[in-house]
Amino acid sequence: MGGILVVAEVRDGKLFSGTLSAVQFAQQVGQQTGAAFDIFVAGSNIGSIAEELSYYGAKKVLVEDNPVFAHYLAPGFAASVAAAAKQLGSSYVAGTATTFGKDLLPRVAVRLGAGMASEVTEIVGTRNGRLVFKRPMWAGNIVGHVVVNTDVVVVSVRGTDFDKAVKLANRSEVVPFTGGGANTRVQQRFISFEQTASERPDLTEAAVVVAGGRGLKDGPNFFKIMEPLADSLNAAIGASRAAVDAGFCPNDLQVGQTGKVVAPQLYVAVAISGAIQHLAGMKNSKTIVAINKDKEAPIFQIADYGLVGDAFKVVPELADAIKRARS
Ligand SMILES: Cc1cc2nc3c(=O)[nH]c(=O)nc-3n(C[C@H](O)[C@H](O)[C@H](O)COP(=O)(O)OP(=O)(O)OC[C@H]3O[C@@H](n4cnc5c(N)ncnc54)[C@H](O)[C@@H]3O)c2cc1C
C-alpha cells in the first residue's frame, strides 16, 4: 500500500488551520495501516507555510511555489495534486471539506480514477483490508459506513470532527515540486475574488457562533439584534437558510446542510425553528442555546439551554447582561 497525501489549504497567504485536521486524519490512517503521509502545498511565495507544515510528522512536504498559484484555480491545482499523488504512489489523498476541498478534491479523484468519500467524520476500522469511513448522509439523519474499492481513495475531511494535529519537534524534508498544474491545457485566469470583510472570527473556526433566523423579520433587525450579542461573546454570526433566502444577510453566513458545518463550544440559535437541514450544520456544537418565542419549536429538543421569549426583547437584555458580567 502507498502512503497518504494531505493537500494543504492556503487562505490569504496563510496556512488554513483546518489543514491540520486533515493531517490528523492522515495520522489516524497511518495508525490503522502503517502507512506514512506526505503533504502537498501550492501557492505563491509560500516558503514560510512549507516550513510551518514541516513540523507535523510528514515524510515529505512537497511545495509548488509559483506565481501562477497565487490564487486558487481548480484545473491547475487539481493537475498538480494528481501529479504529486502519482509520483509518490499515494493510496489516499485527503483534504479539508471546505469550499476549497469540495471544489478541488472531486477533480483530483477524476484525474486519479479514484473513488471518493466526502465529509468523512471518523475512521471506523477496516473491512477486508480496506478502511471504513463514517460520513453523514441525508442531512445527517443517516450515518453511512463507506468503503471505497478503488486503488486510490480521495477523502474530504470534516474539520469539526478531527482534532488539529499537534506540532512536533522534528522537521520533515521540504521538497520543491513541479506538477504541471501551471501549464494545463485548460485556459485559466484569475479575475477577482470578492471577500466579505469582517472583523469577526471565521464562522467555521469560531469558538462561539450566534445565529439568527427568519423570526428576526428583516435585514436591519437581523443585524440590530445579532451584532450586539456577537460583540458581547466575541462570536461569529451565522444564519438559517430562511434568513439568507429572505435577504436578511449574505449567504456565506448560512449554517446547515447546504451551508457551513460548525461545531463551536457555544452555539446560540435566535429565532430559528430547528429544521433538520439547519441542525445538520450545527448539532455537533458543544453547548447549544436556543431562543425562540414558541416553546414547541423543535430547536429546543437539541438545546442544552432554552429561553422562551421574544428575541427583540430578550436578546438585547442578554447581550447587556453578558457585557456587564464580562467587564
Ligand atoms: C434541500 C434543502 C436544504 C436546506 N438547507 C438548509 C441549510 O443549510 N440551513 C438552514 O438553516 N436551512 C436549510 N433548509 C431550510 C430548512 O428546511 C428551513 O426552512 C429553515 O432552516 C428555516 O429557517 P428558520 O428556522 O430561520 O425559519 P422558520 O422555520 O420560519 O422559523 C422561524 C422561527 O422563529 C421563531 N420566531 C419568530 N419570531 C420570533 C421572535 N420575535 N422571537 C423569537 N423567536 C421568534 C418562530 O417561532 C420560528 O421557530 C434547507 C431546505 C431544503 C429543502
Q: Report the top-level CATH class of 208-326.
A: alpha beta
pLDDT, mean of residues 204-219: 96
First to last CA, the chain: 57
Query: What pLDDT sits at residue 311?
Result: 98
pLDDT at 79 over 90: yes
Angular region, 57: left φ>0, alpha ψ -120 to 50, beta rest? left
185 or 115, which is more confident? 115
Domains 4-183 and 208-326 belong to one CATH topology: yes
Query: What pLDDT sits at residue 134?
Result: 97
Residues forming a β-bridge with 10: 15
Does the CB atom of residue 260 touch ligand 1 within 6 A? Answer: no
Please tell me the distance between residue 212's alpha carbon and the centre of ligand 1 in angstroms. Answer: 9
Query: What pLDDT sits at residue 281?
Result: 93
Mean pLDDT, the chain, rounded, equals: 95
pLDDT, mean of residues 215-241: 97
Does the CB atom of residue 273 touch ligand 1 within 6 A? Answer: yes
pLDDT at 138 over 90: no
Please tell me the distance between residue 132's alpha carbon and the centre of ligand 1 in angstroms. Answer: 34
pLDDT at 140 over 80: no
Q: How far apart are CA 268 and CA 225, in angstroms?
A: 13
Q: Band of the pLDDT at 28, cuts 50, 70, 90?
A: very high
Does the CB atom of residue 272 touch ligand 1 within 6 A? Answer: yes
pLDDT at 186 over 80: no
Within 10 angstroms of residue 149's Cβ, the number of other Cβ atoms is: 8
Q: Band of the pLDDT at 283, cuts 50, 70, 90?
A: very high
Stretch among 28-37, 42-51, 135-144, 264-273 having the lowest mean pLDDT: 135-144
pLDDT at 187 over 90: no
Does the CB atom of residue 278 touch ligand 1 within 6 A? Answer: yes
User: Tens digits of per-residue pLDDT, 157-173?
Assistant: 999 899 999 999 999 99
Please tell me the distance between residue 271's alpha carbon and the centre of ligand 1 in angstroms. Answer: 8
Does the CB atom of residue 211 touch ligand 1 within 6 A? Answer: no
Q: Using an 8 Å Cβ cutoff, are 115 and 107 in contact?
A: no
Residues forming a β-bridge with 290: 269, 306
Please tell me the distance between residue 142's alpha carbon and the centre of ligand 1 in angstroms. Answer: 21
Q: How far apart are CA 161 and CA 121, in angstroms?
A: 5
Fold of 4-183: Rossmann fold (3.40.50)
Please tell me the distance between residue 310's alpha carbon and the centre of ligand 1 in angstroms. Answer: 16
Task: Give the residue carrying C-alpha cell 471518493.
Answer: 116
Please tell me the distance between residue 275's alpha carbon and the centre of ligand 1 in angstroms. Answer: 6
Does the CB atom of residue 242 touch ligand 1 within 6 A? Answer: yes
Query: What pLDDT sits at residue 199?
Result: 84
Atom from ligand 1 closest to the CA of residue 240: 11
pLDDT, mean of residues 137-152: 91
Q: How far apart are CA 293 and CA 270, in angstroms?
A: 10
Q: How far apart are CA 115 and CA 121, in angstroms?
A: 17
- Domain extent listing, the chain: 4-183, 208-326
